[in-house]
Structure 1
């Protein structure tokens, strides 16, 4: 009887030991799966960090800007002579806006062509929408835009009111800084398009009109209807790309 009891006990021991090993094996497999998932998440995070670093490398802040105020006028005049194009296309998700730049505002035309060929406007927004008045573009809240501005330079464009262009519907005009700007010099980076049917003649001889929309005022009208938040900034960004037509 004792012998049978010992044999039975051994069988039970082996059976439970086998069950325990199976359970441990299941736990090991489960833990391995969790570990693999965590590793994949970690790899994705590391990849994203590396991509961000690569992007940062592309956005290099130059110690010396391309343009300085003291050399601005001769540079823009010469640039305008070497780059005679006067038609540009502004591409948005609402459609394209085509603009003719005036030859008799050479500083503003030269500056706009220069910025376009530098790729400055690509990725900026129509960041201000004043319903029934204007849409204003050339800025964004992206770090890339501020870096581009730093690299190009901090300067103002002298006004070119003598050309006599007025703020009628479709006028393509330069924004300007209001503070400490008695000469009414223009911002090099921002522009606006008059949307109002009546025009915006209170801006004549206050902002320099240096072009006009030749195609796409329906696009201007669509952008002008977009809902806005604080500071007349559209609730959904209206991104642009600008290219030279001819």
Structure 2
């Protein structure tokens, strides 16, 4: 009964997010009702597809924990050396290159992409002239995927001396501020837009593990959409991700 309640509650949240999509902001004023309704139908279908993906994850790989995270990602990284990823949203495509000298973060990101974790998550935080952040959502599939992959693990910091946040860098988010080891929350990342003068609280505290190589115009456009007081866009910005090289 508890699982059923959680599932039904997730469905309520899902349709609530769909209702948000109907309230068009200025950024979406050119989208007609038919387009929006089609998008909602696609999102409904994705619930079943995502449940199948969650079951597949549980069968293929062990759950990642803080005890096995280094060994698992080290081995996975050896067998999956890719460094280029494509993030797609309704605004357009963003290409990213992941750094080889942050091997755990690179391997973790490639792993999540290949497990389809990011599909049907959002750009859920947008701050103009600062960052856009992705990897979370308010639909039921996201916590179910996290539970299947590993609900509690963090990534050891891989902070490279002299590497600073600059236009287009990709960094791992942190789960909490009081984090003396600067460990990264594995499921969320942010792209930096802001001036270097606004990086004093970021440099040396967050692992920079990649950069945008194409599509910063898309990043800029996303950063300017209307958002609520918590920087969450008023209209959900769904993403998908795939490895391209």
| Gap change, CA 1:227 and 1:106, over 3 Å in 2 | same
Choose from 109, 132, 149 the match for 1:135. Answer: 132
Select the structure with the greater relative contact order (CA < 8 A; seq sep ≥ 6). 2
Separation (CA, whole Å) in 1 of partners of 2:129 and 2:80: 35
The residue that corresponds to 1:231 in the other structure is 230
The residue that corresponds to 1:212 in the other structure is 211
| Max Rg structure | 1
SS in structure 1 at match of 2:143:
helix
Separation (CA, whole Å) in 1 of partners of 2:50 and 2:86: 29
Unaligned runs of 5+ in 1: 1-50
| Gap change, CA 1:199 and 1:122, over 3 Å in 2 | farther
Choose from 164, 186, 189 the match for 1:188. Answer: 186
SS in structure 1 at match of 2:67:
helix
TM-score by length of 1: 0.74
Higher helix share: 1
Unaligned runs of 5+ in 2: 1-44
The residue that corresponds to 2:241 in the other structure is 242
* Mapping 1:96-107, distance limit 5 Å: 96-107=93-104
The residue that corresponds to 1:37 in the other structure is none
| Gap change, CA 1:196 and 1:76, over 3 Å in 2 | same
Choose from 92, 107, 112 the match for 1:110. Answer: 107
Separation (CA, whole Å) in 2 of partners of 1:166 and 1:86: 20
| Gap change, CA 1:201 and 1:55, over 3 Å in 2 | closer
CA shift at 1:177, angstroms? Answer: 1.5
Separation (CA, whole Å) in 2 of partners of 1:108 and 1:157: 7
With 187-196 and 163-172 compared, the bigger mean Cα shift is at 163-172
Native 8 Å contact 1:135 1:193 kept in 2: yes
- Give CA-to-partner distance per residue, 1:121-141, whole Å, 9 cap, x none: 000000000111000000000
Give yes or no for the alignment of 1:66 onto 2:67. no
CA shift at 1:165, angstroms? Answer: 2.3
CA shift at 1:53, angstroms? Answer: 10
Separation (CA, whole Å) in 2 of partners of 1:239 and 1:141: 11
SS in structure 2 at match of 1:240:
strand
TM-score by length of 2: 0.74
Native 8 Å contact 2:113 2:243 kept in 1: yes
Native 8 Å contact 2:108 2:186 kept in 1: yes
CA shift at 1:106, angstroms? Answer: 0.2
Separation (CA, whole Å) in 1 of partners of 2:135 and 2:100: 21
Q: Please identify runs of 4+ aligned residues in structure 1 that moved more than 2 A.
A: 51-65, 162-165, 197-201
SS in structure 2 at match of 1:69:
coil
CA shift at 1:215, angstroms? Answer: 0.3
SS in structure 2 at match of 1:160:
coil
